[in-house]
Amino acid sequence: MSVDFLIYRPDIPADCAYELCKDYGYYGGYDYDTAKGYRVNVGYLYDDELETEYPELYPDWFEGKTGAEVADTLPSVLRKARAKELKGFNEYMDFNKDKQRLSGMLNDLSSVVKVCLDHPDWKLALES
């Protein structure tokens, strides 16, 4: 399952955010001066152990947060999860599928952090 993270200026109404946000990432680029918001697609790995240990990585935690709140919390959680990925997850995950999905999820969330660090006053919303 994937979730679109909409990170947008506070003067943009929530019901217009999806249409005004530019895709961020491989094809979207990053236009610091003129963008009204960015859309970051995060592909999720739903693993009970991972979700219990790092609830901050999953969509429910992001509801109602601002860019500043995400930028303050998420980088340290991503570092811990990445360290655990390198050490322990190899033991019980199917390397070909789950390991790649976990790595992709952490990379996508790093893009969310990048936008939030650059725009701490922006709002954040999620679309499934």
Per-residue pLDDT of the chain (128 residues; tens, 9 = 90+): 789 999 999 999 988 889 888 888 655 555 556 678 899 999 888 878 888 888 999 998 998 889 999 999 999 999 988 887 666 555 555 555 777 788 888 899 999 999 999 899 999 999 88
Length of the chain: 128
Tally of domains within the chain: 1
pLDDT at residue 26, as a whole number: 56
Q: Determine whether 128 is exposed, middle or buried from the number of CB atoms within 10 Å of its CB (0-12, 13-18, 19+).
A: exposed
124 token code pair? 């954040």
pLDDT at residue 1, as a whole number: 79
Question: For 107, left (φ over 0), alpha (ψ -120 to 50), or beta?
Answer: alpha
95 token code pair? 């390397």
Q: Residue 1 in contact with residue 128, Cβ under 8 Å?
A: yes
**C-alpha to C-alpha distance for 112 and 74, rounded to whole angstroms:** 9
**Threshold 0.75, pTM exceeds:** yes
* Amino acid (one-letter) located at 125: A
pLDDT at residue 8, as a whole number: 92
* Amino acid (one-letter) located at 113: V
Range of the domain at 35: 2-127
**C-alpha to C-alpha distance for 57 and 108, rounded to whole angstroms:** 11
